[in-house]
Structure 1
Amino acid sequence: MNKFQPTVEKVHLKNGLILLLLSFPDSLLCSIHLSLAMGNLFENEKERGLSALLQEVMVKGTQTKDAITFNREVESLGASIESSSNSFIGRIAIEGPNEHIFAILTLFFELIKSPALKKEEIEKEKGYLIDQLAALDDDPLNAALYRFKKAFYGTHPYGSPTLGETDCLKTFTEKKVNDWYRRWYVPNNMVIAVVGNYNLSRMKDVFYHQMGELIPQKVKPYQEDSFYPLSLRIVEQKDIQDSWMVYGYRAPSLFDVQGRVAFDLLSNSLGGSMYSR
């Protein structure tokens, strides 16, 4: 390997946490990303949106800092933080100046190990997600995509919006959100990537000290259920000037690397943009 091309060092902690380290000499920025298995695939019919709600609330402070104080400390370091979830992954990312990488990591560890998850923030974010779901129909393309997914995936989790279902969101309590956090934020369900300019030995020592003592828990695997389309065609008329059509078919599995690459090339060639072939 060329000495000018740093390689990723993969570290397995005894508790199951996977650490990916990439040090770039002279890098002025640092980035820390946490990924967890969570989302639609891991939710039952009564849990739709629980992952999305948790991820929204995760960055609203810690046990010792309210949301305003925590975010001010992040901003004082010139950093930014965001969280998200989709059908199968939850993510927290924090980025900022490399000169503050270890101070940024201190806030990162505090957040993922002791988030506030307060009732008032949970209720606020529930309302936000419910409003977002209601707004899906305001955009014709999103409305068409939503109905396509419902028809194509049927009762499979992929058929539900990653934001959740309104009826489910209304039922989620503070206890339910905290239980969901304890279920998924465990070391053997975490992959953390750190990119920046740092000493590898020191970075490993920091993670061994901060994350090495976390206790692993049994993580529920997702169900590889088959699915059957509910309908081959859905037509809905709305009082708008635009018309949108969505059609689709089953693609290769994410685990079928060769098939997925071929499908991506075909998809971009046939329909990647207005300038596709």
Structure 2
Amino acid sequence: MGQHLPLVAAGSTGAELTAGQEGATIRRSVLPGGVRVLTEQMPGLRSATVGAWVGVGSRDETDGHHGSTHFLEHLLFKGTPRRSALDIAEAFDAVGGEANAATGKEHTCYYARVLDDDLAMAVDVIGDMVTSARLDPDELETERGVILEEIAMTEDDPGEVVHERFAAAVLGSHPLGRPIGGTPESIRAVPRDAVVEHYRWHYRPETLVVAAAGGVDHDVLVKQVGEVLAEGGWDLDPDAVPRERRSDAAESDGVRTEPTELTVRRQVEQANVIVGTTGLSATDDRRFAMTVLNAVLGGGMSSRLFQEIRERRGLAYATYSFAQGHGGLGLFGLYAGCTPARVDDVTELMVAELERLADGGITDAELERSVGQLSGGLVLGLEDSGSRMSRLGKAELVLGELTTVDESLARIRAVTADDVRELAADLASRPRSIVRVGPFGE
């Protein structure tokens, strides 16, 4: 069994042999410039996934820069002095690989999955993109139109709309309440100079984490990363250290302290509704109790929401609970999609189930079943190199620690019924917001 890894404490250069599990070996190095490289070598795997994680998300945008983070996700694929956009696409297509990117509220990741023999190419291309994006003015204007179309597509999906409006309803003017992709107004307004400034300020060695899993050699990858970053012209100061991880302290500026109700009118057949409140931060000690609570309340077909609202009453096809943790803040919500005339009834039932959990707790059978569900999901979710790569990146940037599968399972199994009831009571006592999306009248 592997060991617990306090990643935030490691600040020296050079590779450090850390934990291993199921025959895999995890290593971490801090390179000159403060760049961090983490690998999980998985014996027998002929593929590898590599990701360049930049510690910047939509919450980090300042006035005049809103939408820049998502803009950069698009623009980095549009070419560098060494490669055109077509060159980047052909490099991965030629080897049967996959390349993509994702923008979050707190980080951005550019990643590729390739055969192990092609990993050096993937590192070179992604490193070139991250360090040397041209941010061509014509390409920027083209992507402005593409992003506006992407936002319009999201606005046509009531399920996406209800989640975005729920975050805004609960978090108010807090940066975490903003949509990741920006708004049509912010995308139209942001000038190229602001996007370039955002790129130069945040895409730096001390913010970069390179994570790879699968058929990967740590020492070889460290050498490749150092070479591609140097070729990209980054200042790799040997005395530099990684940027400090985001503070765990609760941030409440802008977060709503009163119950909120919002109705968004859309001409659709089914209404979408979320009722919820603030949740736990990503590093809250109660996050494992939250996973159990979520499993019991709305995490599967045996959950209370599913059984009560769908199976017993037939009021909805989809219903579930969810929890999102960020630095210092989180969200917790109950969702259902149902006939518009039934929205109020379904909302009352969801609230009643949360309050019943807060008052009466969970049974021993529910606790045992949820622990089994979460344990199986955790192990099955780490069966591929992509999920293992993501685990490394998030551990470094968000959690500040990397736990082995065995330790994570132990923390889940340590949750008690009292832990769940106390957390449910806390959540049920918080200001509650309700957001509905559907064909409602004035």
Q: Which residue of 2 aligns with 1:136?
A: 154
> Residue type of the partner of 1:146?
E
Deviation per CA, 1:207-261: give whole Å up to 9, x if none: 33333683268969878641332752123444433122211112111121x3112
In 2, are the aligned partners of 1:34 and 1:92 still within 8 Å (CA)?
A: yes
Deviation per CA, 1:32-73: give whole Å up to 9, x if none: 111111112201243221101111111122222211122112
Q: Which residue of 2 aligns with 1:259?
A: 286
| Cα distance in 2 for residues equivalent to 1:198 and 1:231 | 50
User: Structure 1 275/58 Cα, relative in aligned 2: closer, same or farther at 3 Å?
Assistant: farther
Q: Which residue of 2 aligns with 1:148?
A: 166
In 2, are the aligned partners of 1:40 and 1:48 still within 8 Å (CA)?
A: yes
Q: Which moved more, 1:85-94 or 1:221-230?
A: 221-230
| Cα shift at 1:112 | 1.8
Q: Which residue of 2 aligns with 1:240?
A: 268
**Structural RMSD (CA):** 2.6
> Residue type of the partner of 1:152?
V
For the pair 1:109 / 2:127, whether they are aligned, the reply is: yes
For the pair 1:270 / 2:297, whether they are aligned, the reply is: yes
- 1:115-194 superposed matches below 5 A: 115-194=133-212
Tell me the secondary structure at the aligned position of residue 57 of structure 1. helix
User: Structure 1 131/208 Cα, relative in aligned 2: closer, same or farther at 3 Å?
Assistant: closer
> Residue type of the partner of 2:197?
D
Name whichever structure is richer in helix by fraction. 2
Tell me the secondary structure at the aligned position of residue 25 of structure 2. coil
| Cα shift at 1:16 | 0.7
| Cα distance in 1 for residues equivalent to 2:114 and 2:129 | 16
- 1:22-37 superposed matches below 5 A: 22-37=40-55
**Please, which of 87, 90, 104 is the counterpart of residue 105 of structure 2?**
87
Q: Which residue of 1 aligns with 2:255?
A: 228
Q: Which residue of 2 aligns with 1:209?
A: 227
| Cα distance in 2 for residues equivalent to 1:219 and 1:205 | 21
| Cα shift at 1:203 | 2.8
> Residue type of the partner of 1:129?
I
> Residue type of the partner of 2:273?
M
User: Structure 1 160/101 Cα, relative in aligned 2: closer, same or farther at 3 Å?
Assistant: same
Percent identical residues: 20
| Cα distance in 2 for residues equivalent to 1:13 and 1:122 | 32
| Cα distance in 1 for residues equivalent to 2:283 and 2:149 | 35
In 1, are the aligned partners of 2:131 and 2:234 still within 8 Å (CA)?
A: no
| Cα shift at 1:273 | 4.0
**Please, which of 95, 119, 130 is the counterpart of residue 77 of structure 1?**
95
Tell me the secondary structure at the aligned position of residue 56 of structure 1. helix
Q: Give the alignment's TM-score, normalised by structure 2.
A: 0.57
Unaligned runs of 5+ in 1: none
| Cα distance in 2 for residues equivalent to 1:236 and 1:214 | 46
The alignment of Structure 1 onto Structure 2 pairs a total of residues equal to 276
Tell me the secondary structure at the aligned position of residue 191 of structure 1. strand
| Cα distance in 1 for residues equivalent to 2:21 and 2:286 | 34
Name whichever structure is richer in strand by fraction. 2
In 1, are the aligned partners of 2:37 and 2:210 still within 8 Å (CA)?
A: yes
User: Structure 1 79/161 Cα, relative in aligned 2: closer, same or farther at 3 Å?
Assistant: same
| Cα distance in 2 for residues equivalent to 1:201 and 1:16 | 17
**Please, which of 25, 49, 63 is the counterpart of residue 7 of structure 1?**
25
| Cα shift at 1:121 | 2.1
Higher RCO (CA 8 Å, separation ≥ 6 residues): 1
Q: Which moved more, 1:161-170 or 1:135-144?
A: 135-144
User: Structure 1 161/220 Cα, relative in aligned 2: closer, same or farther at 3 Å?
Assistant: farther
User: Structure 1 236/169 Cα, relative in aligned 2: closer, same or farther at 3 Å?
Assistant: closer
Q: Which residue of 1 aligns with 2:277?
A: 249
Tell me the secondary structure at the aligned position of residue 78 of structure 2. coil
Tell me the secondary structure at the aligned position of residue 11 of structure 1. strand
In 1, are the aligned partners of 2:24 and 2:42 still within 8 Å (CA)?
A: yes
| Cα distance in 2 for residues equivalent to 1:30 and 1:231 | 47
Q: Which residue of 2 aligns with 1:96?
A: 114
Tell me the secondary structure at the aligned position of residue 241 of structure 1. coil
Q: Which moved more, 1:75-84 or 1:91-100?
A: 75-84
In 2, are the aligned partners of 1:26 and 1:197 still within 8 Å (CA)?
A: yes
| Cα shift at 1:185 | 1.3
Q: Give the alignment's TM-score, normalised by structure 1.
A: 0.88
Tell me the secondary structure at the aligned position of residue 128 of structure 1. helix
For the pair 1:47 / 2:62, whether they are aligned, the reply is: no
